[in-house]
């Protein structure tokens, strides 16, 4: 017997590999027409969702080209008070906008953090949460109704020899009905009322039964009341019925969670108001800095024109180096004017964003309120105590500590054994019929008896009562739960103490900044007055050739810098006042803002009134011994008296201490008041140095809407008023 060589098979295999390659091969199919339209070349693609009923804001659709150095013609100048700015912001803020700590640059906080931005819907969302909300926690105590109806037919062969007593095929019609009301009480017990109806008809011989079919009914009342673990109103309102260690979702915990969300909402409103005020005063500062630069530019232009006139005729004082130096000074101020104007447009856009308005609608906002120059002094002891009590961040942390305290109470309850009292009472009935028939009887022994009459006779009653005890040996999980709750409570208390320390330091910082900014505003005002006098003196001396051109140009620059520094310190001072109110928890009160719950649907008020009337008509049951401990100190007072106020030497009640400004030098310098300002729209500042001419005089505009003009060149540029004069 010969053995075949494997060489030919190996060669065939290698030949197939060479011809086809190591690649997956497509199968062959009959009736393939080549239509692969159902084939998708990719599993995931970038797509656009199809949203329903999401219309963009009208402010987005109505936005026009923004103001810029190439677009400096507003249709209208809008003189806006700070109070109206806050009102617009609150009215247009379903989502609490935030600058995100950015004074410069576009707003990006909402785009980058959409999930954590506070909204007006957050408290209602927390209240209506179907898992953790207050209504969800209350639903655990609602009465539950359950019912079932079943009909069944049985036709089963039996392993019996045919005889009159045991049929070989068992045939049966069975019906069952059950209805139950079940209620969980605040004490942790459960109460139920159950009604059962059962029907049975089968082919068993009558020798064993009174009648071929029967109705069996019963009505039973049952209760189960915990006596140790899980007992008590306080535990069940903290943990909820049927709770387990480490998970608490009672009514009290759910309400505290809602209160925590309310503090988040209040924080969002507070930060919104603060950002609006900051943006308002930043816009004020932008206007004032622009005015200062325009004044410097105009004075530099006048100096340059004068020197250029001497330069043209070759007179003394018109040397080439002096003409070039004056020219450079003018363009320096011109560049600063353009930069300040662009900053003003950016600040105005930032305020528009905080107010919820379109980026540009043709109107240019101009603050109508002047910052206060009066000295505001806060009593440290009262302000510090108020900050510890009223600061919303501390109030939120106190709610968290209270929640941990309640969780510890619930955790200790699990260390008790589970001892339940169980009881049941039952009424039974049996009959040939279910309901009463003609000539029926309540005696189940008669063939014409009915089940309900038998049950209502009360002849057959059962009861059951006892105690059930269970507990784990060692309570390992329960002890871990108590330790966990204790550690959580210790951690939150430590956090609260550190937050109080931080708030104290924050208050000290803003008080220090408040006093420093007030002193700086006085010093910068005196600097401003001195710089103005220096310009006048140097200009007069320059006319008599007693000083050089360098001193005159330097004095003009110093005046512009002093003007900007004064208004910057004044704006910082007013922002510091708001910061003090922010840290001590009275910023909303300071701006006249009050938080309240919005209206409910009319049906909610109708249902509440109906329940109140039902309680009024019921009998009062005093169960005060089961009431839980107090967890709240009542409603938070949003408006309070902040202490004595001193103004012009007279004492009044309500507000911080106000003092008139103290002069920084012995010389009697009047308190700084707003002056008539200059143009804020250098639209075209190009200059032809060959033909500089003095600007023609022009009166102040009669209307505040005439503040923005567009001079074609620096030669015909004329100063005009950009600020509405306000006497406070």
Strand order across the 144-157 sheet: 144-157, 169-184, 190-202, 213-226, 418-431, 461-470
Identity of the highest mean pLDDT range in 245-254, 304-313, 324-333, 497-506: 497-506
How far is residue 397's CA from residue 256's CA, in Å, rounded to a whole number? Answer: 11
Please give the average per-residue pLDDT across 442-448, as a whole number: 69
Q: Each residue of 535-551: pLDDT tens digit? A: 889 888 888 877 788 88
How far is residue 675's CA from residue 525's CA, in Å, rounded to a whole number? Answer: 13
Q: Could you give the domains of the chain?
A: 78-140+246-370 (no CATH), 375-406+478-593+636-645 (1.20.1600.10)
Q: Each residue of 254-288: pLDDT tens digit? A: 999 999 999 999 999 999 999 999 999 999 999 99
Please give the average per-residue pLDDT across 587-604, as a whole number: 84
Q: Computed over its alpha carbons, how large is the radius of gyration of the chain?
A: 44
Angle between helical axes of 82-91 and 320-355 (0-180°, round to 10): 40
Whole-number pLDDT of residue 496: 94
How far is residue 619's CA from residue 143's CA, in Å, rounded to a whole number? Answer: 20
Q: Is the CB of residue 522 less than 8 Å from the CB of residue 661?
A: yes
CA distances to 106, 384, 576 from 342, in Å: 13, 41, 26
Please give the average per-residue pLDDT across 412-426, as a whole number: 94
pLDDT at 300 over 50: yes
| Tokens representing residue 149 in the block | 């109806």
Q: Which residues contact 95 (CB under 8 A, 6 or more apart)?
A: 110, 117, 118, 119, 120
| Tokens representing residue 355 in the block | 């107010």
Please give the average per-residue pLDDT across 309-334, as a whole number: 87
Please give the average per-residue pLDDT across 403-426, as a whole number: 94
Q: Is the CB of residue 334 less than 8 Å from the CB of residue 685?
A: yes
Q: Is the CB of residue 178 less than 8 Å from the CB of residue 209?
A: no
Q: Each residue of 357-367: pLDDT tens digit? A: 888 888 899 99
Whole-number pLDDT of residue 13: 54
Please give the average per-residue pLDDT across 132-156, as a whole number: 91
Given pLDDT bands bounded at 50, 70 and 90, which one contains residue 303?
confident
Task: Tell me the pTM.
Answer: 0.76
For 431-477, give the DSSP string: ESBSS--TT-BS-TTSTTBBHHHHHHTT--EEEEEEEEEE--SS-HH
How far is residue 454's CA from residue 447's CA, in Å, rounded to a whole number? Answer: 13
Please give the average per-residue pLDDT across 28-50, as a whole number: 74
Mean pLDDT of the chain: 79
Whole-number pLDDT of residue 437: 60
For 146-210, give the DSSP string: EEEEEEEEEEEE-S--S-SSS-SEEEEEEEEEEEEEEEE-TTS-EEEEEEEEEEEEE---GGG-S
Angle between helical axes of 251-313 and 549-584 (0-180°, round to 10): 170
pLDDT at 347 over 50: yes
Q: Which residue has the higher pLDDT, 305 or 68?
A: 305
């Amino acid at each position: 017997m010969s053995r075949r060589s494997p060489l030919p098979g190996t060669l065939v295999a290698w030949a197939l590999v060479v011809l086809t390659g190591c690649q997956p091969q497509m199968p062959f199919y009959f009736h393939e027409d080549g239509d692969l339209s159902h084939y998708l070349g990719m599993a995931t693609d970038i797509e656009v969702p199809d949203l329903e009923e999401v219309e963009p804001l009208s402010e987005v659709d109505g936005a026009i080209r923004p103001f810029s150095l190439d677009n400096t013609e507003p249709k209208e100048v809008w003189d806006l008070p700070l109070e109206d700015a806050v009102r617009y912001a609150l009215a247009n803020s379903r989502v609490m906008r935030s600058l995100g700590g950015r004074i410069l640059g576009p707003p990006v906080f909402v785009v980058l953090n959409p999930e954590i931005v506070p909204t007006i819907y957050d408290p209602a969302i927390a209240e209506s949460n179907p898992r953790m909300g207050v209504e969800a926690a209350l639903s655990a105590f609602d009465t539950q109704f359950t019912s079932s109806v079943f009909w069944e037919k049985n036709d089963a062969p039996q392993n019996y020899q045919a005889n009159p007593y045991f049929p070989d095929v068992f045939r049966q019609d069975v019906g069952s009905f059950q209805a139950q009301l079940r209620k969980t009480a605040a004490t942790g017990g459960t109460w139920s009322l159950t009604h059962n109806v059962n029907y049975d008809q089968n082919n068993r011989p009558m020798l064993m039964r009174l009648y071929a079919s029967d109705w069996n009914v019963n009505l039973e009342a049952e209760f189960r009341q915990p006596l140790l673990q899980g007992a008590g109103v306080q535990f069940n309102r903290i943990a909820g019925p049927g709770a387990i260690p480490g998970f608490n979702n009672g009514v009290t915990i759910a309400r505290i969670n809602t209160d925590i969300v309310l503090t988040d909402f209040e924080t969002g409103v507070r930060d919104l108001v603060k950002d609006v005020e900051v943006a308002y005063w930043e816009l004020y500062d932008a206007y004032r800095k622009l005015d200062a630069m325009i004044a410097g530019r105009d004075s530099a232009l006048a100096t340059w024109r004068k020197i250029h006139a001497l330069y043209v005729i070759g007179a003394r004082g018109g040397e080439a180096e002096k003409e070039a130096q004056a020219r450079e000074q003018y363009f320096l101020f011109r560049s600063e004017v353009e930069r300040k104007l662009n900053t003003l447009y950016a600040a105005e856009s930032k305020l528009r964003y905080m107010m919820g308005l379109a980026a540009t609608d043709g109107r240019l906002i101009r603050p109508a309120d002047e910052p206060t120059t009066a000295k505001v002094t806060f009593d440290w002891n009262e302000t510090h105590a108020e900050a510890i009590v009223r600061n919303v961040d501390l109030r939120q942390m106190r709610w968290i500590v209270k929640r941990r305290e309640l969780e510890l109470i619930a955790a200790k309850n699990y260390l008790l054994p589970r001892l339940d009292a169980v009881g049941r009472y039952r009424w039974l009935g049996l009959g040939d019929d279910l309901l009463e028939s003609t000539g029926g009887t309540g005696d189940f022994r008669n063939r014409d008896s009915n089940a309900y009459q038998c049950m209502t006779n009360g002849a057959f009653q059962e009861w059951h009562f006892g105690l059930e005890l269970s507990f784990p040996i060692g309570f390992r999980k329960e002890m871990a739960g108590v330790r966990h709750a204790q550690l959580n409570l210790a951690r939150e208390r430590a956090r609260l103490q550190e937050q109080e320390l931080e708030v104290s330091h924050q208050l000290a910082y803003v008080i220090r900044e408040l006093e420093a900014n007030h002193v700086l505003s006085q010093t910068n005002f005196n600097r401003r007055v001195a710089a103005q006098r220096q310009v006048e003196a140097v200009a007069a001396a320059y006319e008599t050739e007693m000083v050089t051109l360098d001193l005159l140009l330097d004095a003009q620059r110093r005046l512009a810098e002093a003007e900007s520094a004064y208004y910057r310190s004044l704006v910082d001072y007013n922002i510091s006042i708001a910061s003090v109110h922010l840290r001590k928890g009275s910023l909303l009160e300071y701006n006249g803002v009050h938080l309240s719950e919005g209206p409910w649907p009319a049906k909610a008020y109708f249902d509440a009134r109906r329940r109140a009337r039902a309680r009024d008509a019921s009998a009062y049951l005093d169960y005060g011994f089961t009431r839980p401990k107090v967890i709240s100190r009542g409603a938070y007072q949003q408006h309070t008296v902040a202490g004595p106020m001193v103004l012009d030497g007279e004492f009044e009640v309500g507000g911080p201490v106000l003092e008139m400004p103290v002069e920084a030098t012995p010389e009697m310098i009047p308190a700084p008041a707003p002056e008539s300002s200059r143009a804020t729209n250098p639209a075209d500042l190009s200059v032809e140095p060959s033909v500089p001419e003095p600007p023609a005089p022009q009166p102040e505009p009669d209307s505040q809407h005439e503040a923005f003009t567009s001079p074609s060149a620096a030669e015909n540029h004329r100063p005009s008023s950009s600020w509405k004069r306000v006497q406070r």
